[in-house]
Amino acid sequence: MFAYVYFLDDRVKDSVNVKDIKHFDPKNTTDFSSTQTYWILQKGRFTSGQILFMKETCEEIEQFLATGKRIRVPKLLDKIPPENNTSERKEAKDNATAQKTSIEEGRQTFLMDILKKRQALKRKQPLCPPHSTTKREKLIVDDEISSESEDELIQKSKFDELEKRYKLLSRKYQEAIAEGKELRKLNVELQTCLVAKILCGNNTSPGSIKALPVTTGNNTSPGSIKALPVTTENSFEQISEKHEVDIGEGVFVHSGKWKKIQDNIKDSLFVKEMAVCIWGTSTLANRSLEGKSCPTTKSDPRPPLTPHKFRALKCCFQKWLKGKNLDEGELKARAGKLGHYITEKIQDINKKLKPKK
């Protein structure tokens, strides 16, 4: 016979043989109590459960379940199984101990087999060769090979050291050549500036100086300076015999002031100092940028700045900005502030000339 049972621990329903129910020997399919707890075998151990119904075969239970009728789990009146809990626990403990012992014995047997196999392999492959002469010959060959490898390593290390020294000296040589070129260039510029200052201070003409030693990169002999100062590759102005720089549009400024203005860092200082150098302070005080009257003071309009001089200043400012390697957008934005800087300079001059109250 088979019983359809309900396990109380995990609340699972399943079909079992009545032989798997401990201390249960029914005479027919109705010889059971659905409100009583039984010890039922589940997955190798006995757990508590209750019998819902019984059939002669397992197929009959499946046919009954296929009808779709709901199987009610009745309320238990006796929650204690008929067998004593202590004996069941003892039996389960004994089973677990026996299973553990068998696992340990199997593991030990497995390890012993592995050990025996390794010992057998060691016997077949001994560490020492059978003949001592073979070992002696092998040692001699190894010594010769090791001595050759040591010589090769020593030579390789020396070669690597020499190669490193060669690279270091080559790099220092290149740096020395570059430094020499830079010093020669600075020497020429310094001598040019000194001659220009001498000529400006003594008001002498360039022809009065016969010769000035100049050290060049090709070790040439000293020569006479015919035109001073000498222009560089990056300059865009022309220098006259009066030591004035032609900045374009026929506008000339003093070479010393021009060089000083080019060394400025700020855009505003470059524009303001160039404006003073071109027009002068007194002229700027009586001029305006475009000749328009001031909307706040409503005074008479002042004459505008000279157009060709303004174009020359604008051209100089743009070339000065291009030398700073700016992108097109930033170059255009900074060049557009030229008029603003000139207006600020005119206002500053007028504030200084205004009488104090």
CATH number at residue 310: 1.10.10.2590
Residue 225 has what pLDDT?
Answer: 37
* 108: enclosing H helix or E strand: helix 85-124
Asked if pLDDT for residue 208 goes beyond 50, the answer is no
Tell me the pLDDT tens digit for each residue of 43-86: 888 888 989 899 889 888 888 888 888 888 888 876 666 554 55
Q: Tell me whether residue 182 is in a domain.
A: no
What whole-number distance in Å separates Cα of residue 314 and Cα of residue 327?
A: 18
Highest mean pLDDT, choosing among 146-160, 197-211, 230-244, 296-310: 296-310
Domain around 258? 238-353
Asked if pLDDT for residue 228 goes beyond 60, the answer is no
Domain's final residue, options 32, 48, 83: 83
What whole-number distance in Å separates Cα of residue 148 and Cα of residue 135?
A: 20
Cβ pair 22, 38 in contact under 8 A: yes
Q: Which of 217, 199, 219, 216 is nearest to 207 (CA)?
A: 199
Q: Tell me whether residue 173 is in a domain.
A: no
Residue 107 has what pLDDT?
Answer: 87
Query: What total number of domains does the chain contain?
Result: 2
Q: Tell me whether residue 57 is in a domain.
A: yes
The alpha carbon dihedral of 286, 290, 294, 300 has a sign of positive
More confident residue, 165 or 153: 165
Domain's final residue, options 63, 83, 103: 83
Which two tokens mark 59? 């197929």
Q: Tell me whether residue 244 is in a domain.
A: yes
Domain's final residue, options 64, 83, 102: 83
Q: How far is CA 167 from CA 79, 86, 171, 280, in A?
A: 95, 90, 6, 58
Q: Is residue 349 exposed (0-12), middle (13-18) or buried (19+ Cβ within 10 Å)? A: buried
The alpha carbon dihedral of 229, 232, 235, 237 has a sign of positive
Q: Tell me whether residue 245 is in a domain.
A: yes
Q: Tell me whether residue 169 is in a domain.
A: no
Q: Which amino acid is at 191?
A: Q
Tell me the pLDDT tens digit for each residue of 295-317: 666 677 888 888 999 999 999 99
Helices 267-279 and 338-353: crossing angle in degrees, nearest 10, is 60
Q: Tell me whether residue 339 is in a domain.
A: yes
Q: Tell me whether residue 229 is in a domain.
A: no
Helices H / strands E in the chain, number of each: 9, 7
Q: Which of 200, 197, 194 is nearest to 212 (CA)?
A: 194
